[in-house]
Amino acid sequence: MKISKIILYDEPTVPEIQLDRLRKFLGNTFQITIEIRKNLFNNLDDKTYEKIASIRISDIKKPFQKHSTSDEDVLVEKKSIDMSQEKEPPLYDGVELQKIISEVIPDSENRRDILNVVFTNKISCTFDECDYRYHARALISSNPVIISTTGMIEAPAKPKQYYLDLMTNFSEDAIDEIKKRYKGQFLEYHDSRLSEIAEGYLLQAIMYYETGEAFCDNSDCRLFNSHWQEELIHSQIDNKKLCEKHQEILNQFKQN
């Protein structure tokens, strides 16, 4: 493996990701050094907070443009206020966020053999040229890696019937009732399954970095790129395995 060490940066507002458990999982899987760090977005300089605020997406139907920042925007970043569950949470360009994170990581650790993985509740997005709009992403690969805990919940779609039920019922009471009806079929905030889901995204990030191959076409593999919550829960919790091809690649990593 070209990776000799992985550094996991915490997102303290989401204790369900359980970094100690993820460290054990990665250590057992790849037998390399795993280190846990505190939230990367704490104690940055004012200029960096302003940079982060400036990469908010102002129009999801336009490619990246710098956002005009307000004092409030910068203050939200500086105080690390969790905006993920607001009615209109800020969306961030994932590629630009990755560049800013790379500038923040110490030079001595900004190396090819050290994979930096940053968990965040910020909603990272990428612009898709196919339908010309931004989409929320749980994972922004390469190095540093961004894993959005909010993206795990919001990016893969919920059941179609769930959305149809919401469209035909507009009251707050009805929304709560509909959520109860579909409980367990998709991830929710502070869901106890988030740590298992995070294992899968970590595997996807590491295998992509090592092999250059993005995702797997087999929905029974943990490297499958799930577009639906049903697929995500199946591949990462119910099945929880790699396909034969990727298991063989993993076995080769362990032998080297």
Predicted local confidence at residue 186, as pLDDT: 96
Split at pLDDT 50, 70, 90, the class of 219 is very high
In DSSP terms, 48 is beta-bridged to none
What's the mean per-residue pLDDT of the chain? 95
Report whether pLDDT(254) > 90: no
**Domain residue ranges of the chain, discontinuous segments joined by +:** 5-255
Distance between CA atoms of residues 226 and 155, nearest Å = 9
SS (H, E, C) 211-235: HCCCCECCCCCCCECCCEHHHHHHH
Kind and range of the H or E element at 132?
none
Q: At a CB cut-off of 8 Å and minimum separation 6, what does 14 contact? A: 119, 121, 149, 190, 194
For the chain, the 3-state helix, strand and coil shares in percent, each to the nearest 5, are 45, 15, 40
At 175-200, the pLDDT tens digits run 888 888 999 999 999 999 999 999 99
Local structure of 87: helix, strand or coil: coil
Burial 60-72 (b: 16+ CB within 10 A, else e): eeeeeeebebeee
Predicted local confidence at residue 215, as pLDDT: 94
Report whether pLDDT(243) > 80: yes
DSSP 108: G
Q: Which phi and psi (to 5°) does residue 160 adopt? A: -55, -40
Q: Six-digit token pair at 248?
A: 């063989």
Which fold would CATH assign to domain 5-255? Collagenase (Catalytic Domain) (3.40.390)
Report whether pLDDT(166) > 80: yes
DSSP 236: I
